[in-house]
């Protein structure tokens, strides 16, 4: 049995939903943190069919449990109507539920009982540098990502290929999320090419040979199945007009490569955007785990096409500007965006994360950090300390 890797996700003390893409280790984490929880897996096809035909069997199973017990329901999105019973047993028997899922799409429907705030919402992300410690290797993270199911595989590239095929078969086809599966299959690799890029629905529509409306729906499916997310443009109220279109990021560098069919060594052309995506996921994960920031956006003035800041993190009225550089050496040309945003009201600090090993500081106060140092800063809650 492989050694368990401690996760940065903190253990809630009340009922909660736990969402995350397939392969992020949700079930493993729950079993480790709640070893005495009564487990009900809706991935068990026989059990799923019984509850589908007769939901009262779910109630009967819960009636047999002692008051205050923990109940782990895996893949709750397969039978969202069971949430009515979950609601009842939280209220009447003080049972505490762990409700995991790899898709929030069915649970977003207006007629689904989301427990009226009686359950927290948590997310589990791919492995982070602080979780893997000395075993974290940036080249491996860039090449095949850090999804636990892939990281622990002896054949990570083959596992990634199988993962993409499983996603099409199990998440999309089995859940009937799209009517035109061939169109979605054409869309996926094109969406992979937009990793770290401004979303251009017209271009994707043309390349995938589907309508703009269909592309918009497909992008929502990627987000609902938690495999991708969009980072909006930042509106700081500066004098210049800012671009308004969001950027698209996949949740894992290896997955972004897999959907586009890229294998083998990471090319120089890929390296920059893959590293940027790793940092995007890192910040997003620490926001979810440690409240590292409230919002994440990107910024670029419309009047300067070669100037931008990859991420602006916000908490209250303060901001941290973060630039990502896939290089081991930082020069003046790498600081252009951070110098352009210097006049932003509430700007707390300016950071560059790079592939070098030593922290540094420029003469005008821009901090330069290796990726592990940034991860420690976010995990330790020190992003908003000092400057």
- CATH code, domain carrying 60: 3.40.50.300
Secondary structure element (H or E) that encloses residue 357, with its range = none
- The range of the structural domain enclosing residue 36 comes to 16-123
Tokens of 240: 């210049």
Looking at residue 237, what is its pLDDT? 59
Q: Answer whether residue 129 is part of any domain.
A: no
215 belongs to a structural domain = no
Residue 272 within a domain:
no
Q: Does residue 249 fall inside a structural domain?
A: no
In the chain, where do the E strands start and end? 16-19, 38-41, 70-74, 96-101, 120-123, 197-198, 228-231, 247-250, 295-299, 309-315, 318-325, 347-354, 360-361, 367-370
Domain count, the chain: 1
> Does 295 reside within a domain?
no
Task: Tell whether 58 is covered by a domain.
Answer: yes
pLDDT in the model for residue 136:
94
Angstrom distance (rounded) from CA 275 to CA 272: 5
Q: 380 in a domain, yes or no? A: no
- How would you classify the pairing of strands 367-370 and 360-361? antiparallel
- Within a 10 A sphere around the Cβ of 180, how many other Cβ atoms? 12
pLDDT in tens, the chain (387 residues): 567 889 999 999 999 999 999 899 999 999 999 999 999 999 999 999 999 999 999 999 999 999 999 999 999 988 988 999 999 999 999 999 999 998 777 777 645 666 767 889 999 999 999 999 999 999 999 999 999 999 999 999 999 999 998 877 677 776 556 777 888 889 999 999 999 999 999 999 999 999 999 999 899 989 988 899 999 999 765 444 455 789 999 999 999 999 999 999 999 999 999 999 999 999 999 999 999 999 999 998 766 667 899 999 999 889 999 999 999 999 999 999 999 999 899 999 999 999 999 999 999 999 999 999 999 999 888 999 865
Predicted TM-score (pTM) of the model is: 0.92
CB atoms within 10 A of CB 210: 20
DSSP 8-state secondary structure symbol assigned to residue 301: B
Sign of the torsion angle spanned by Cα atoms 168, 81, 65, 101: positive
Residue 240: the pLDDT is 47
In a domain, 77, yes or no: yes
Cα–Cα distance list, 162 to 19, 149, 159, 184, 249 (Å): 21, 11, 5, 17, 21
**Cβ(111)–Cβ(84) below 8 Å:** no
């Amino acid at each position: 049995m492989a050694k368990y890797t401690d996760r940065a996700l903190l253990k809630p003390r009340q009922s909660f939903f736990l969402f995350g893409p397939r392969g992020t280790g949700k079930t493993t984490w729950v079993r480790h943190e709640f070893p005495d929880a009564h487990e009900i897996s809706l991935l068990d096809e026989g059990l799923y069919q019984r509850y589908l035909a007769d939901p009262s069997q779910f109630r009967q199973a819960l009636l047999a449990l002692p008051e205050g017990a923990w109940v782990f329901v895996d893949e709750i999105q397969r039978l969202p109507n069971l949430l009515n019973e979950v609601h009842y047993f939280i209220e009447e028997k003080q049972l505490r539920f762990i409700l995991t899922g790899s898709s929030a799409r069915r649970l977003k429907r207006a007629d689904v009982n989301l427990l009226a705030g009686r359950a927290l919402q948590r997310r589990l992300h791919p492995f982070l540098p602080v979780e893997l410690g000395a075993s974290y290797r940036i080249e491996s993270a860039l090449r095949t990502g850090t999804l636990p199911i892939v990281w622990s595989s002896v054949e990570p590239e083959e596992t990634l290929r199988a993962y993409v095929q499983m996603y099409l078969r199990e998440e999309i086809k089995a859940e009937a999320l799209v009517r035109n599966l061939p169109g979605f299959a054409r869309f996926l690799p094109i969406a992979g090419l937009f990793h770290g890029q401004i979303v251009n629905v017209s271009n994707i529509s043309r390349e995938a040979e589907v309508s703009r409306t269909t592309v918009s729906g497909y992008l929502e499916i990627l987000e609902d199945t938690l495999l991708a997310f969009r980072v909006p443009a930042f509106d700081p109220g500066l004098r210049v007009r800012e671009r308004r279109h969001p950027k698209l990021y996949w949740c894992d560098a290896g997955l972004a490569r897999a959907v586009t069919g890229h294998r083998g060594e990471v090319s120089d052309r890929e390296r920059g955007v893959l590293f940027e995506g790793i940092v995007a996921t890192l910040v997003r994960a620490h926001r979810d785990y440690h409240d590292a920031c409230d919002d994440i956006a990107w910024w670029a003035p419309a009047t300067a096409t070669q100037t931008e800041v990859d991420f602006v993190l916000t908490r209250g009225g303060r901001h941290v500007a973060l630039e990502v550089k896939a290089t081991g050496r930082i020069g003046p040309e790498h600081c252009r965006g951070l110098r352009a945003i210097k006049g932003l009201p509430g700007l707390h600090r300016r950071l560059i994360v790079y592939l070098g090993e030593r922290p540094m500081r420029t003469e005008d106060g821009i901090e330069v950090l290796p990726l592990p140092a940034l991860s420690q800063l976010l995990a330790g809650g020190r992003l908003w300390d000092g400057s």
